[in-house]
């Protein structure tokens, strides 16, 4: 056994992740907990095997452990995706067939890992790298490794995308979603860096350590009730002894709270909290499931058949947290079976209306159609605008607004009255207005106005509901700001990508194309020339006595001469030509559609222009000459390598016969070049 202090981090990660897996067993009945525990066990085993591989002495045993690490590692990404799918309420998608399909790539990886003759397809050629007190084994990667890694990355990205969508559409679980995203994203980014071998210690995987960060995040979330916990959302607002049936469902369709009357009437089990709504009898399950899509409202519903049929007034309300974000739905079912007589119907309707108006968070109001003064307003107006109902009763509906806005609202109401009287089907209108608060601030309110003919008086009546949407407006503004910031970041990324593309194809010093790009362009040009039966020529040039220039005046002078050469080539080549820095002081110009004679003439023009060029440096006028060799397709070669070698031999002859000249290649005699000097 070997000791290295680097073993403690993955070992601690393994212990922590195993502890979380054990602790999560208390919530094994809750959604997504099973794949979550599996993820923790797999991550713990992954970290443990990596820790053991750091301390075992025999290389063969260490290599074996680093092979076995991919058995748990291959199933981590499917476990992440399965956990996310179940947690976001899409468990029905995970069928046996789809789960089996998800596990095909990990299963093949296990087979390759356990089969020595096939393992080189995954990884091969292990070698030991020592860094101080740490020695690591590094493998060369086979083709299956990239299949395995790409598959795991795709599954992880899909899981993050599902969580991101849920983060937008399920505000009540925003904190939980952010914790899950963070716990997945940290080791995923670490795994990318490890795969790219961008690590301070070669061969040392940081993924097991950052899995510990995931463990800390999820452990804290479990201890503080942030994930996998269903709590009685509305226990403080619903008295358990009332006769009405009170049921609270969370946004996942699970029973979050229930009173005793609902348990008895609905036939619920003793431990109903945490059970899905499907655990109820079919009539009740269908009722609650159907109305859970309604954010708020009332209706009369019937449950059962024959002598057991009961009629209820159902009140559905959205339960919000302290920030106004929805966390569930409250169902209040009032039994009105014994009160169906005609004399009682009106009183029951009025009582239910008052009960709803005085206890719901939205503000309900009525106005006189002649004076537009408030004849009724619910007590929730105090929570919305700070006024008590008696302070506003008798006031015009637009009380407290600026005069110009009062006139606008007055005209709008008169216009809508005329619209309704002309077409009674147009009776409901929605507006968003900024209303004054008693403390001097403002609050955004969504106002739904309903115009109807009163059955009692036969006269036009106007009722309305006001809802505080300030949080929603702020969220919309924040989203717009975030989108603008994202657009700015995207533009910056695109600019950086353009710079990277430029750097990947150009020489930094001269601004010319680099050798790699030249080779690609040459092959493309030769393919086009062969297809079109057109000529193509290549000129290879070299600065004469460049080393002497560097030795005499320094490398800065040499750089200036190279930069001047690049500028000269930019100015003396056609748009269809490609000028490249081949290496050092050597340059290559690819001349599309140019015959040998045309290329020789252009090369000589460049030679003369270079001889006339002067570079000033440190009070000196620096002058140099160039030698060049020219080869043409197809006379001197049918592929890029052959053509470049022919041009290089011609360049060699130009230098050997005195420099400051241009020579053409001779394909008839491979060992010699034809000397062409143009004075």
DSSP reduced 3-state for 187: helix
Q: How far is CA 131 from CA 6, 96, 655, in A?
A: 11, 47, 49
Task: Tell me the Ramachandran region of residue 173: left when phi exceeds 0, alpha when psi lies from -120 to 50, beta otherwise.
Answer: alpha
Cβ(598)–Cβ(608) below 8 Å: no
Neighbours of 432 (CB within 10 A): 12
Q: How far apart are CA 493 and CA 258, in angstroms?
A: 52
Q: How far is CA 566 from CA 269, 561, 579, 590, in A?
A: 84, 9, 8, 14
DSSP letter string, 335-392: E-TT--SHHHHHHHHHHHHHHHHHHSSSEEEEE-TTT-BEEEE-TTHHHHHS--HHHH
Q: How far apart are CA 219 and CA 19, in angstroms?
A: 9
Q: How far apart are CA 164 and CA 178, in angstroms?
A: 9
Alpha-helical runs (H) found in 379-514: 381-385, 389-392, 403-422, 470-505
Cβ(102)–Cβ(62) below 8 Å: no
Closest CA to 236 of 343, 121, 319: 319
Q: How far apart are CA 637 and CA 110, in angstroms?
A: 50
Residues 280, 284, 289, 291, CA torsion sign: negative
Q: How far apart are CA 565 and CA 581, in angstroms?
A: 10
Residue from 131, 243, 391, 585 carrying the catalytic annotation: 585
Cβ(154)–Cβ(176) below 8 Å: no
Q: How far apart are CA 28 and CA 503, in angstroms?
A: 54
Q: How far apart are CA 74 and CA 103, in angstroms?
A: 9
Residues 6+ apart with CB under 8 A from 235: 257
Order the strands of the 586-592 sheet from edge to edge.
578-583, 586-592, 536-543, 626-633, 662-665, 673-676
Q: How far is CA 427 from CA 416, 464, 519, in A?
A: 8, 11, 74
Q: What is the biggest distance separating any 2 CA atoms in the chain, rounded to whole angstroms?
A: 123
Cβ(93)–Cβ(101) below 8 Å: no
Q: Is 585 a catalytic site residue? A: yes
**Helices 59-68 & 33-55 angle (0-180, nearest 10):** 170
Residues known to be catalytic: 585
């Amino acid at each position: 056994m070997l000791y290295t202090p680097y073993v403690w981090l993955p070992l601690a990660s393994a212990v922590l992740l195993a502890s979380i897996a054990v602790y999560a067993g208390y919530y094994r009945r809750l959604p997504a907990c099973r794949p979550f525990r599996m993820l923790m066990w797999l991550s713990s085993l992954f970290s443990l095997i990596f820790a053991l591989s750091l301390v075992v002495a025999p290389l063969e045993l260490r290599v074996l452990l680093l092979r076995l690490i991919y058995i748990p590692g291959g199933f981590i990404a499917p476990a992440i995706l399965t956990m996310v799918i179940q947690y976001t309420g899409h468990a029905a998608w995970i069928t046996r067939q789809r789960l089996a399909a998800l596990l095909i790539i990990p299963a093949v990886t296990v087979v390759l890992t356990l089969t020595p003759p096939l393992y080189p397809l995954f990884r091969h050629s292990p070698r030991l790298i020592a860094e101080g007190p740490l020695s690591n084994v590094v493998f060369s990667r086979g083709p299956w490794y990239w299949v395995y890694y790409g598959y795991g990355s795709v599954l992880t990205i899909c899981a993050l995308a599902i969580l991101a969508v849920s983060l937008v559409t399920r505000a009540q679980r925003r904190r939980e979603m952010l914790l899950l995203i963070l716990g997945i994203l940290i080791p995923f980014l670490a795994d990318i860096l490890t795969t790219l071998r961008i690590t301070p210690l070669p061969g040392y995987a940081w993924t097991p350590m950052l899995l510990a960060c995931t463990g800390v995040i999820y452990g804290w979330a479990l201890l503080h009730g942030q994930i996998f916990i269903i709590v009685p959302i509305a226990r403080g607002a619903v008295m358990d002894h009332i006769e009405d049936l009170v049921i609270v469902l969370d946004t996942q369709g699970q029973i979050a709270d229930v009173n005793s009357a609902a348990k008895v009437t609905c036939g619920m089990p003793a431990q109903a909290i945490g059970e899905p709504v499907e655990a109820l009898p079919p009539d009740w399950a269908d009722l609650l499931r159907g109305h859970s899509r309604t954010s708020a409202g009332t209706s009369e519903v019937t449950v059962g058949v024959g002598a057991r049929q009961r009629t209820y007034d159902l009140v559905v309300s959205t339960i919000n947290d302290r920030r106004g974000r929805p966390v569930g739905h409250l169902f209040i079912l009032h039994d009105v079976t014994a009160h169906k007589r005609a004399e009682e119907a009106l009183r029951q309707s009025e009582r239910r209306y008052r009960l709803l108006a005085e206890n719901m968070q939205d503000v309900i109001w009525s106005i006189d159609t002649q004076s537009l003064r408030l004849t009724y307003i619910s007590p929730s107006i105090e929570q919305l605008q700070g006024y008590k109902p008696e302070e506003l009763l008798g006031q015009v509906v637009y009380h407290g607004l600026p005069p110009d806005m009062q006139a606008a609202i007055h005209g709008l109401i008169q216009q809508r009255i005329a619209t309704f009287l002309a077409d009674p089907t147009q009776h409901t209108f929605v507006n968003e207005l900024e209303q004054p608060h008693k403390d001097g601030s403002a609050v955004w309110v969504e106002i739904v106005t309903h115009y109807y003919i009163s059955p009692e008086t036969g006269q036009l009546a106007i009722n309305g509901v006001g809802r505080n949407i300030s949080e929603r407006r702020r969220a919309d503004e924040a989203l717009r700001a975030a989108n603008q910031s994202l657009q700015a970041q995207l533009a910056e990324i695109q600019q950086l990508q353009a710079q990277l593309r430029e750097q990947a194809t150009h020489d930094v010093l001269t601004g010319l194309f680099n050798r790699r790009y030249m080779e690609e362009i040459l092959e493309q040009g030769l393919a086009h020339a062969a297809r079109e039966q057109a000529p193509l020529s290549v000129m290879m040039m070299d600065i004469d006595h460049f080393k002497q220039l560097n030795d005499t005046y320094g490398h800065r002078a040499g750089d200036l001469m190279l930069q001047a050469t690049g500028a000269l080539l930019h100015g003396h080549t056609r748009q269809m030509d490609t000028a490249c820095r081949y290496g050092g002081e050597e340059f290559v110009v690819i001349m599309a559609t140019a015959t040998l004679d045309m290329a020789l003439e252009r090369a000589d023009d460049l030679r003369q222009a270079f001889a006339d060029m002067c570079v000033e440096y440190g009070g000196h006028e620096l002058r140099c000459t160039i030698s060049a060799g020219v080869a043409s397709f197809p006379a001197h070669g049918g592929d890029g390598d052959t053509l470049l070698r022919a041009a290089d031999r011609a360049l060699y002859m130009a230098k050997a016969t005195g420099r400051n000249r241009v020579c053409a290649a001779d394909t008839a005699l491979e060992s010699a070049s034809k000397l062409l000097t143009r004075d």
